[in-house]
Amino acid sequence: MFYAGLARFYGWSHKEISEMPYSKAKKYWKAINVLQAREYLVDININNYHRFKTDSKKRFYSDLRKQAYPAHLEKRMDFEEFAKKVGMLNG
């Protein structure tokens, strides 16, 4: 199950996993639950996005944008630009 889980989640081959030191592979194994939980929380928030008040929507969008485009990357668009593009705001 250990090899299968690493292969499925990270896309590694059996050979790649077996050549990795066990201590390193174990750290990646332990990270799977954390990463999946974070993804599930984002999914839950997206499913409930329509219920958010405007300030919560801005905060949620801003937090995701900061994670997707860290400070060292070019800024893409702010919340108002995004909201206009998806039809949330008129104008």
Q: Count CB atoms within 10 A of the CB of residue 6.
A: 21
User: Could you give the 3-state DSSP secondary structure of residue 47?
Assistant: helix
Could you tell me how many residues make up the chain?
A: 91
Could you read off the pLDDT tens digit of each residue along the chain, which spans 91 residues?
Answer: 999 999 999 999 999 999 999 999 999 999 999 899 889 988 998 898 889 899 998 998 888 888 877 776 555 677 787 778 777 766 5
In whole angstroms, give the CA distance from residue 55 to residue 61.
Answer: 10
- In 3D space, the residue among 86, 89, 1, 6 whose CA is nearest the CA of residue 46 turns out to be 86
Where b means 16+ CB within 10 Å and e means fewer, 30-42 reads: eeeeeeeeeeeee
